[in-house]
Amino acid sequence: MTGRWVGDHNLALLTDLYELTMAGAYFASGIGGEATFELSVRSLPPTRNFLVAAGIDDAVDSLQIMRFGPAEIAYLETLGRFDAGFLEYLASWRFDGEVWAIPEGTVCFGAEPLFGVTAPLIDAQIVETLLLNTIGFQTLVASKASRVQIAAGGRPFVDFGARRSHGADAALRAARAAYIGGASATSMVLAGAVFGIPVTGTMAHSYVMRHSSEMEAFLSFSRSYPDDAVLLIDTYDTVNGAGVAVAAARELAAEGIRVRAVRLDSGDLAALAAEVRAILDDAGLPRIEIFASGALDEHRVATLVAAGAPIDGFGVGTAMVVGADAPSLDIIYKMVHGPDGPVMKTSPGKVSLPGVHQVYRVSGADGWEGDIIALIEEADLPGVPLLAEVMTRGRRTVPAATAREARGRCAEGLAAMPAQLGDLDAAAAPPYPVDISGPLAALAARLSGETLDWRLDHRGNS
């Protein structure tokens, strides 16, 4: 087995062993038939009012290309658990199911199915780990980024998270998810190359330190990048650095080079931004913008904006790409319908909704009023259905959204959702109503033998 990285060639092994042992048992016992599994976030993190779906298209792409190649089969054989017949089956396996999903960038809520798989039982089982992993991570980053977007109040913010994300691939996908959530650009070059996201960047403290003075560093950098000179002014002392930036800007102006911005990366950003703004304005340089970074998250950005700090843009990194307040989602993938009809799990605290579902979003004159989770066979429900078919027989039926399209959908959702969901303090906002339909409640009661105490609200406190 070669290849340190997860790639198209070995994606099928991105799975928990039990997916394969169960598949092997199904294969051995001849239990077949189709089943439907649904993926959802069981309940929202306590710090969140809503989520932004992401990773949907990535998951669909993965389903389409997943194969067990010769190297993968050879490895599985070494485990000594799988008989030759099952391994032969896997060697020619490909995902052959139907997928319904919520579009990339959609604002969504706890308990709502985001991705549904109807497939031969083995197919639906094998892909569980991959789907949870892909959609869970990207959704958590897009969701976090959308909060930064709200906090920034129209000012641009840039993803700076690559260095603290959970590995190389996480950095790549986080950049895309952050862009969907509202970031205007990323510092992560590969994300620009792969996803066409705008990339941007300034300079590091080491660059300033490498020169004999800040002045020399600023001049040298600006001459190399005359169209995009952003000067980092906090390496030694921010206020002093602002003065140096002014001197550099004047010298550069004579060469026809305009300094675009200065960057603050430490200290009391609100106070320093005000001091630096005054220095720049007093020097007759009002067009030089101020860019701020350094351990920012949506709360710190909101505080800076509320304080009227003269900051024109933000760099947001670690907290956003690791989802610091919620670094995982309670994301689940449950069988909801087996070959013999709807099924339901009743483990304490882990009750699942039986049957195949659609989510309807009901709007009134003032915007969204609530979502209803209903059985797919119900007719004449109010609102707009959120899930749509994206795969049939293991093939895409609609093109993947571009990052830009998904970003647009997210922006529309943030604008249309009830305003109180934009409160960064989730506990302060009344929950968004997510209800279940009467027929669904009746089915759950019938299968569980009791009236379902399923309190669906925006925090999913079930």
140 to 199, contacts with a second copy by CB under 8 A?
160, 162-174, 187-190, 192-194, 199
Residue 221 lies near a second copy (rule: CB under 8 A):
yes
Rg of the chain (C-alpha set): 26
Among 64, 220, 437, 462, binds a second copy (CB under 8 A): 220
Interaction residues for a second copy, span 244-283 (CB under 8 A)? 265-267
Output 23 or 426, the one with its CB closest to a second copy.
Answer: 23
Which one, 315 or 431, has the nearer CB to a second copy? 315
Its sign, for the CA torsion 162, 114, 58, 198, is negative
d(CA 321, CA 297): 10
Q: Which of 47, 64, 129, 402 binds a second copy (CB under 8 A)?
A: 129
Contact between 95 and a second copy per CB under 8 A: no
Residue 290 parent element (H or E): strand 289-292
Planar angle of CA 258, 261, 264, nearest 5 degrees: 150
The answer for 167, left when phi > 0, alpha when psi is -120 to 50, beta otherwise, is: left
**Segment 60-89, which members bind a second copy (CB under 8 A)?**
61, 71-72, 75-76, 79, 81
Token representation of residue 433: 């109503």
| Residue 253 identity (one-letter amino acid) | A
Nearest distance from residue 369's CB to a second copy, in Å? 32
Q: How far is the CB of 345 from a second copy (least distance, A)?
A: 5
Least CB distance to a second copy at residue 430 (A): 28
Residue 39 or 249 having the CB closest to a second copy: 39
* Residue 143 or 417 having the CB closest to a second copy: 143
Distance from C-alpha of 374 to C-alpha of 144, rounded to nearest angstrom? 28
Interface residue with a second copy, options 46, 85, 209, 439 (CB under 8 A): 209
Phi, psi dihedral angles at 334 (to 5 degrees):
-125, 140
CB of 266 to a second copy, least distance (A): 4
Q: Which residue has the tokens 């070959």?
A: 339
- Is position 334 an interface residue for a second copy (rule: CB under 8 A)? yes
Judge contact between 175 and 195, C-beta under 8 A: yes
User: What is the footprint of a second copy within residues 406-425 (CB under 8 A)?
Assistant: none
Q: Are 315 and 157 in contact (CB under 8 A)?
A: yes
Q: Please say which residue, 37 or 115, places its beta carbon nearer to a second copy.
A: 37
- Residues 106-125 within binding reach of a second copy (CB under 8 A): 121, 125
CB count within 10 Å of CB 8 equals: 12
Minimal distance, residue 50 CB to a second copy, in Å: 20
What span, in angstroms and rounded, lies between the C-alpha atoms of 142 and 179? 8
Question: Which one of residues 153, 327, 341, 367 is an interface residue with a second copy (CB under 8 A)?
Answer: 327
**Residues touching a second copy: how many (CB under 8 A)?**
115
H or E, element range at 320: helix 318-321
Q: Which stretch binds a second copy (CB under 8 A): 43-51, 282-290, 339-347, 386-394?
A: 339-347
| Pairing between β-strand 229-232 and β-strand 259-264 as defined by DSSP bridges | parallel
